[in-house]
Amino acid sequence: MAIQYQERFAVHPEDFKHYDTEMIREEFLLEDLFENDKINLVYSHYDRYIVGGAVPVDEKLTLDTIDPLKADYFLERREMGVINIGGKGTIEVDGTKFDLDYKDALYIGRGSKDVTYTSQDKNKPANFYINSAPAHKENPTKKVTLADAEVVELGALESSNHRKINKMIVNSIVETCQLQMGMTMLQTGSIWNTMPPHTHTRRMEAYLYFELPEDQVVCHFMGEPDNTRHMWLKNKQAILSPPWSIHSGAGTSNYIFIWGMAGENLDYTDMDVASPHELC
């Protein structure tokens, strides 16, 4: 079966306080999104957000609908963002082909019926990272490169959090309903992302960590600001972040992460910041 999925249900913050490491990983960690010739999806009950990966190698992969959607086709009531973190690939949307190089993104609007994924070289297959959210109207499908992104530079080397935020699928670049995606690049010598941390109860979020050496890891911090937990992630693993949770990380090496989010509004700066000393 080329497409497979699992469901993750929402967790109350009071319940979360009693979770051990195994339970936290079971509820929030997305470990095996990228498998050859498969589309792996996680249907989350946080804002009905879907996170997934598609790796076409020997065959074209077709985005079929899944049972939780109760839809005739996957994007009947949804929009989708895709960022390629592998070799060159092609996404075909209703007969129109979009070639995606490494770190290119594609926004696919609601109502798109036929979506397929292929790699241009099976020896260097594309790794399509997928985020999808419910949508209330149709918007045009559009390719977005890093050159098109809105770039914000934050932090400093002195505080180990110098980073460049590339806003790619946001309304200043492409019209969406509620989906937002982008890519944050840690600069040499920095290890902290999203520091100082924040929450935004109006939106949930998902993180994918990549460009992390195979022998290195990222420690992801989550939970309410005054009651945090941590989880170790490997390369190309993702994590769901509830609206009530911070989402910050520190790596044993440089890395990049892709953030995706959906919810009440599209204001990227809408956040409730917690200064570092408030975490104590």
CATH of the domain at 66: 2.60.120.10
| pLDDT at residue 155 in the model | 86
Residues contacting 86, CB < 8 A, separation 6+: 34, 55, 102, 119, 124, 125, 126, 127, 128
**What pLDDT score was predicted for residue 1?**
61
Cβ within 8 Å of residue 134, ≥6 positions away: 47, 48, 77, 78, 79, 177, 178, 262
If we measure between CA atoms, which residue out of 259, 105, 264 comes closest to residue 194? 259
pLDDT one-digit tens code per residue, 28-49: 999 999 999 999 999 999 999 9
How many angstroms separate the CA atoms of 212 and 206, rounded? 17
What does the alpha-carbon distance between residue 59 and residue 190 come to, in Å, rounded to a whole number?
39
How many C-beta atoms lie closer than 10 Å to residue 217's C-beta? 20
Residue 59 resides in a domain: yes
Report the C-alpha gap between 30 and 176 in whole angstroms. 25
- Does residue 168 belong to any structural domain of this protein? yes
Structure tokens at 15: 């319940």
CB count in 10 Å sphere of residue 184: 19
119 beta partners = 89
Q: Enumerate residues 6+ apart whose C-beta is below 8 A from 117.
A: 39, 54, 56, 60, 61, 63, 89, 90, 91, 126, 128
Per-residue pLDDT at 13: 95
* Host domain of residue 120: 3-8+19-279
pLDDT one-digit tens code per residue, 196-222: 888 888 899 999 999 999 999 999 999
Extract the residue ranges of the chain whose pLDDT is less than 70: 1
Residue 13 lies in a domain: no
Phi, psi dihedral angles at 263 (to 5 degrees): 155, -140
Tell me which DSSP letter residue 56 carries: -
Give the distance from CA 242 to its chain's centroid: 13
What pLDDT shows up at residue 4?
A: 96
- Domain assignment present for 72: yes
Residue 216: inside a domain, yes or no?
Answer: yes
Asked whether residue 88 is domain-assigned, the answer is: yes
Question: How crowded is residue 136: how many other Cβ atoms within 10 Å of its Cβ?
Answer: 9
Please give the pLDDT value at position 280. 75
Within-domain flag for 104? yes
Q: Give me the number of domains the chain comprises.
A: 1
- Domain membership of residue 14 (yes or no) is no
Give the Cβ contact number of residue 231 at 10 Å: 17
Return the beta strands (E) in 188-271 as ranges: 192-193, 198-199, 203-210, 218-224, 227-233, 237-241, 246-251, 256-263
Rounded to 5 degrees, φ, ψ at 36 are -55, 135
Instruction: Report pLDDT for 17.
Output: 95
Q: Taking the model in full, what pTM does it have? A: 0.96
